């Protein structure tokens, strides 16, 4: 009985540690910084560091999100990435951001980020944001400027401009490279294509409907 009692704080500590490990996103860095050498031939989990002697202030600066994305495309939206690929200074730091421009009536279509939770803050316009849980419940809100919404890691979500003006949002991620799986293009525009029979069965429609949807994403 005594030993059971003395073990409890340790067990508590252990379960807390396990919890921390489970909710952590990208691994912690082992040095101050590790500006990605995107051209390196060595393949590691992330990117090798460029030599610290060659690192300058410019490596920690990125102006890409200051420019509006062009929304003249089929979805009426444009996502500008500030992830490790466009901003190599983020390598090993476990964070990234996107700029999302959405034209009136446009959508950043249903998609998921396999490696990150997303926090979204609206800067301009009115934006419907929502995600679907694994028990198929739909959670959503219409955001006004300054308001935020959080999308739990890996869940399918979207943004839709319900206002009369352009909408501008900034999204932040707990990963240097969250990854994106866009539901429509993943299923109907993969390379090579998923067999029509699979999609016809999955969506309970005939092959003509599958062909019609595929035709919408031909480049």
Residues 29, 33, 35, 37, Cα dihedral to 10°? -60
Q: Which stretch binds ligand NAG (CB under 6 A): 3-11, 40-48, 66-74, 201-209?
A: 66-74
- Tell me: does residue 216 bind ligand NAG (CB under 6 A): no
Cα separations in angstroms, 88 against 71, 119, 202, 215: 26, 21, 40, 36
**Residues 149-178 within binding reach of ligand NAG (CB under 6 A):** none
Site string for ligand NAG, 75-114 (x = CB under 6 A): ---x------------------------------------
Residues touching ligand NAG, count (CB under 6 A) = 5
Q: Binder to ligand NAG among 70, 133, 144, 190 (CB under 6 A)?
A: 70
Q: How many helices (H) and strands (E) does the chain have?
A: 4, 10
DSSP state of 201: H
CA atoms within 13 A on the CB side of 30: 3
User: For residues 70 and 144, which CB has a smaller minimum distance to ligand NAG in the complex?
Assistant: 70
CA distance 112 to 213: 20
- Tell me: does residue 137 bind ligand NAG (CB under 6 A): no
CA distance 74 to 95: 29
Q: Binder to ligand NAG among 48, 69, 145, 179 (CB under 6 A)?
A: 69
User: For residues 140 and 184, which CB has a smaller minimum distance to ligand NAG in the complex?
Assistant: 184
Residues at the site binding ligand NAG, with contacts judged by CB under 6 A: 69-70, 72-73, 78
């Amino acid at each position: 009985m005594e030993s059971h009692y003395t073990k409890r704080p340790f067990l508590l500590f252990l379960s807390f540690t396990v919890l921390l490990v489970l909710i952590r996103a990208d691994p912690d860095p082992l040095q101050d910084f590790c500006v990605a050498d995107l051209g390196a031939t060595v393949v590691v989990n992330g990117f090798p560091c460029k030599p610290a002697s060659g690192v300058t202030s410019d490596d920690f600066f990125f102006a890409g999100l200051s420019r509006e994305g062009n929304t003249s495309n089929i979805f009426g939206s444009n996502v500008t990435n500030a992830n490790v690929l466009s901003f190599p200074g983020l390598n090993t730091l476990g964070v990234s951001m996107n700029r999302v421009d959405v034209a009136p009536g446009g959508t950043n279509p249903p998609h998921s980020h396999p490696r990150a939770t997303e926090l979204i803050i609206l800067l301009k316009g009115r934006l419907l944001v929502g995600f679907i849980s694994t028990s198929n419940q739909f959670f959503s809100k219409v955001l006004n400027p300054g308001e935020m919404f959080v999308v739990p890691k890996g869940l399918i979500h979207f943004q839709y401009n319900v206002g009369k003006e352009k909408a501008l949002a900034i999204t932040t991620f707990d990963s240097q490279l969250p990854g994106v799986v866009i539901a429509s293009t993943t299923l109907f525009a993969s390379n090579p294509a998923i067999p029509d029979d699979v999609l016809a069965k999955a969506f309970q429609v005939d092959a003509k409907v599958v062909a019609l949807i595929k035709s919408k994403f031909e480049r």
